[in-house]
């Protein structure tokens, strides 16, 4: 019924997911252990991503910002939606941090404008420390002890991390307020039901 082409097709299908009009390799799906998206170029000059995880490292064929966008879409959001939400909370900046997973406290930030081909993406929760190498370079140490030198000043890294924590703090306050309002509605509904039962 099927030709010899069908077996490799099934193998590719097993290791990929379809999202947003593109086939993504399953290894490209972000987890809480993903630490960094760094731009690299392949031998054909195509912009790809060096993905660093706690216990793994590989090259994705997708560019860093595109990879971030497709991951957000995979989890039901988008890069534009994440930036719009961040802008509403922090103000209009093209380098705002974004929330990838609110429940897991996973926030990422770009080193430059996400449209810039040299933009590096950092997972805030995976950064352990950072020190100056020179005026334009910083050595970043991740929670697993791995180190990397990036062409970003330490002031820029520090500012981006501060903005990420500010986003997290303000978002938690708003979420807490929403839960309080929800609890008040539940209490009112319960009170109204009790009143109706007393009248009957």
CB 129 within 8 A of CB 40: no
Residue 61, pLDDT above cutoff 50: yes
Cα-based distances in Å from 35 to 72, 101, 106, 127, 187: 15, 14, 10, 8, 43
Percent of the chain with pLDDT over 70: 75
Angle at 65 between CA 104 and CA 16, to 5 degrees: 75
CB 140 within 8 A of CB 130: yes
Q: What is the mean pLDDT of residues 106-111?
A: 93
**Structure confidence at residue 101 as a pLDDT band (50, 70, 90):** confident
Of 61, 73, 82, nearest in space to 30 by CA? 73
pTM of the shown model: 0.76
Q: What is the mean pLDDT of residues 100-124?
A: 90
Q: What is the mean pLDDT of residues 144-148?
A: 96
Cα 95 to Cα 86: distance, rounded to the nearest angstrom: 10
Residue 147, pLDDT above cutoff 90: yes
**Domain ranges within the chain, ordered by starting residue:** 9-199
Of 147, 150, 100, nearest in space to 125 by CA? 100
pLDDT in tens, 1-28: 445 444 444 444 444 555 455 556 788 9
CB 131 within 8 A of CB 138: yes
């Amino acid at each position: 019924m099927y030709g010899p082409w069908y077996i490799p097709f099934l193998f590719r299908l097993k290791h990929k997911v379809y999202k947003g009009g593109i086939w993504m390799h399953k290894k490209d799906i972000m987890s809480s252990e993903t630490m960094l998206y760094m731009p690299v170029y392949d031998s054909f000059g195509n912009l790809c991503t060096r993905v660093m995880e706690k216990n793994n490292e590989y090259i994705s064929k997708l560019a860093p910002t595109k990879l971030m966008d497709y991951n957000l879409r995979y989890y039901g959001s988008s890069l534009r939606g994440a930036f719009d939400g961040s802008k509403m909370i922090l103000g209009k900046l093209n380098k705002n941090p974004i929330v990838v997973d609110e429940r897991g406290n996973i926030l990422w930030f770009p080193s430059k404008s996400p449209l810039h081909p040299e933009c590096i993406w950092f997972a805030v929760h995976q950064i352990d420390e950072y020190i100056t190498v020179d005026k334009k370079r910083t050595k970043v140490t991740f929670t697993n002890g791995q180190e990397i030198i990036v062409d970003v000043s330490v002031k820029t890294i520090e500012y981006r991390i501060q903005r990420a924590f500010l986003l997290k703090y303000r978002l938690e306050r708003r979420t807490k307020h929403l839960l309080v309002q929800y609890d008040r509605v539940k209490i009112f509904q319960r009170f109204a039901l009790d009143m109706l039962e007393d009248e009957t």
